[in-house]
Chains A and B, each alone.
Chain A
């Protein structure tokens, strides 16, 4: 689960990770009064969406007067922001964060993530703050300093020094930097984060370190012990079809093609998309109905797939293990009564009770249903059906 910058900064504050003063606003007049309360004569208005690259897309703007804060907030709230991380459809801005202007002397990058190779959290720092960090990693990997932190000893001084010296910090800067990094490590571990990024981390004119931006993501499996984090979930940032699917234990991602897919298991679902492409078609979606597929979930699956008007055929590919194929076959029959399925459905059922399942489908004699003998046969037929060749 991901959260907004303003929420991440709240968490940072409570752990002693220094951030500029600021507040969230849902409309322009609120934005003005937040700025007024902050005082000063320079503010930053920042669009709150779950994606990076906001600055370039016009989602971060400086204001030199309270009226300007109001005007920028007015323009920003309601606009659709398209960045390299939002996809072409972009994301609608529903709130802005107003922050006091900072005295930036130098910008850095600081991040934390789980390193699957060492199986430990790793902290990464770079002097190339404010830049596209992915580009830095690709072109000049030596400019990123990585330190793996064994959680059984926790964050130690030597971890901090390795980062600080790597960044070329001066003697006076090392102590405040290590304090900052230590606090960040505590946030990451305590909150079961799976990602923290601060880009940029800034050094101010008075030598302090401040998190000017903050991105945080969390391990979904650990949310049960963080009700405070769960409450920060913003459903408006998520795809409504995916939310609907998850209510039924289904995992759905919509794609560009015209062959709908319904599969059990994520690996087989991806492999099904691959074979459709291999046979010259394009998958319309990823849909994993999970291990507990039953008539209701199958019906829901059809409903979700058919919401996409591009779908010209559906490939049901189920390998029955614990799930019995005859139950799935009955589920398909029931689903076709509940949902109007007006495109050809190619069904490949293999594994437990596959023979019985084939019998059920044959006897039902539904004109839209085409049975397939194996994975390749099913993919070929589904692609042909989408082209109107079956």
Chain B
């Protein structure tokens, strides 16, 4: 078992024939992901990496029954691509693109929500169900099958955490890189209950960062709803306060979004908070009694 995606998930790629889209689609196919086609407007009818190319997402769904889209469209056009996917009936869009304007993502997410489409990202490594389905840019070989669910804001720190877990003789059910942009799709609060409901997942690792309040909200949610053990690390304990131009950001969050604040909130909620990023794997092993 796993969450959101598995070996049977049918995936299309928006921005399929571009440089990034091509490179990473190849890697995903090699990992075993069931990529059934791609979308590049104007290249419909062609074949790329042995898969059909379509002009629109609608055509791609009609021909392949795809439910998930991996998006590599350039930042200026990414919101358009997300909204097209939502309109066409995609169930989950994994947005890898880095550098999307915040305003565009604000509208795109509102429309996705209205159409019932889930999103992951933007500016994220994607999602991987170990040894079944990789939708994103993470190095697949690090993720071995096991009992740990992983949710992370950071890319390379996700790899680090998974690597540590695997070195302890454990492994990963599904790992989700949620990204750290101001507007993101699925976050801790939506993903935690999915892992709670997944029988294979025995423990959940969450990796956060300074800024924003998502981890604080997650802490409250964990206290009330999650029975499985949660292990957390928050990056940026030593980050100096940035030189800010104004105060509006701090006022709206009702706090500074410091690592300290987040670690305290999580500890209070019964989460195993590790101070050193080198202790993530060890702590998971200890909590699971290995």
Residues of A within 8 A of B (CB): 2, 50-52, 85-87, 111-117, 119-120, 122, 124, 133-134, 137, 141, 144, 146, 151-152, 189, 192, 194-197, 215, 217, 219, 221-222, 224-225, 253, 255, 263-268, 270-278, 283, 286, 291, 319-322, 350-352, 374-376, 379
Per DSSP, chain A at the interface is mixed
- Structural contact, B103 and A192, CB atoms closer than 8 A: yes
Residues of B within 8 A of A (CB): 27, 75-76, 99-104, 106-107, 109-110, 137-139, 141-142, 152-160, 163, 180, 182-183, 207, 209-210, 212-214, 217, 233, 235-240, 243-254, 259, 275-279
In angstroms, Cα B217 to Cα A215, docked, is 30
Taking the closest CB of chain B, its distance from the CB of A321, in whole angstroms, is 4
In angstroms, Cα B278 to Cα A379, docked, is 10
Quick one: given A52-B247, A146-B252, A277-B238, are A221 and B100 in contact (CB under 8 Å)? yes
- Structural contact, B102 and A322, CB atoms closer than 8 A: no
Closest to A136 in B: B251
Closest to B111 in A: A152
Closest to A134 in B: B247
User: Which residue from A2, A116, A276, A283 sits with its C-beta under 8 Å from B245?
Assistant: A2
Q: Could you jot down 5 A-B contacts, CB within 8 Å?
A: A114-B102, A197-B248, A270-B210, A271-B233, A276-B238
Complex contacts, B107 vs chain A, CB 8 Å: 151-152
Closest to B239 in A: A270
Closest to A255 in B: B240
- Structural contact, B154 and A351, CB atoms closer than 8 A: no
Taking the closest CB of chain B, its distance from the CB of A110, in whole angstroms, is 10
In angstroms, Cα B234 to Cα A274, docked, is 10
- Structural contact, B245 and A322, CB atoms closer than 8 A: no
Closest to A268 in B: B156
- Structural contact, A271 and B137, CB atoms closer than 8 A: no
In angstroms, Cα B157 to Cα A335, docked, is 25
User: Which residue from B103, B180, B251 sits with its C-beta under 8 Å from A144?
Assistant: B251
Taking the closest CB of chain A, its distance from the CB of B210, in whole angstroms, is 7
- Give the 10 A-B residue pairs with the shortest CB-CB distance, closest first: A267-B154, A265-B156, A376-B278, A222-B101, A267-B157, A271-B277, A113-B248, A321-B139, A268-B156, A270-B235
Closest to B211 in A: A116
User: Which residue from B110, B154, B249 sits with its C-beta under 8 Å from A113?
Assistant: B249
- Structural contact, A113 and B277, CB atoms closer than 8 A: no
Taking the closest CB of chain B, its distance from the CB of A139, in whole angstroms, is 12
Known: A117-B217, A322-B27, A351-B142. 11 other contacts (CB 8 A): A2-B245, A85-B245, A114-B102, A115-B252, A120-B106, A124-B248, A219-B102, A222-B103, A255-B240, A267-B152, A267-B156
User: Which residue from B137, B154, B252 sits with its C-beta under 8 Å from A266?
Assistant: B154
Closest to A254 in B: B240
Closest to B236 in A: A270
- Structural contact, A267 and B153, CB atoms closer than 8 A: yes
- Structural contact, A111 and B248, CB atoms closer than 8 A: yes
- Structural contact, B209 and A270, CB atoms closer than 8 A: yes
In angstroms, Cα B246 to Cα A2, docked, is 10
In angstroms, Cα B214 to Cα A124, docked, is 21
Closest to B137 in A: A322
In angstroms, Cα B262 to Cα A274, docked, is 15
User: Which residue from B101, B246, B251 sits with its C-beta under 8 Å from A215?
Assistant: B246
Closest to B109 in A: A119
Taking the closest CB of chain B, its distance from the CB of A22, in whole angstroms, is 20
Complex contacts, B102 vs chain A, CB 8 Å: 114, 192, 194, 219, 221-222
Complex contacts, B247 vs chain A, CB 8 Å: 52, 133-134, 137, 197
Complex contacts, A86 vs chain B, CB 8 Å: 243
- Structural contact, B106 and A119, CB atoms closer than 8 A: yes
Closest to B237 in A: A274
Which one of A146, A271, A274, A283 has the highest number of Cβ atoms from chain B below 10 Å of its Cβ?
A271
Complex contacts, A320 vs chain B, CB 8 Å: 139
Taking the closest CB of chain A, its distance from the CB of B84, in whole angstroms, is 18
In angstroms, Cα B244 to Cα A50, docked, is 9
Quick one: given A114-B182, A221-B99, A375-B278, are A52 and B246 in contact (CB under 8 Å)? yes
- Structural contact, B212 and A116, CB atoms closer than 8 A: yes
Closest to A194 in B: B102
In angstroms, Cα B142 to Cα A86, docked, is 43
Taking the closest CB of chain B, its distance from the CB of A305, in whole angstroms, is 17
- Structural contact, B252 and A351, CB atoms closer than 8 A: no
Complex contacts, A222 vs chain B, CB 8 Å: 101-104
Quick one: given A195-B246, A221-B75, are A124 and B239 in contact (CB under 8 Å)? no
Taking the closest CB of chain B, its distance from the CB of A345, in whole angstroms, is 20
Quick one: given A222-B102, A255-B240, are A351 and B163 in contact (CB under 8 Å)? yes
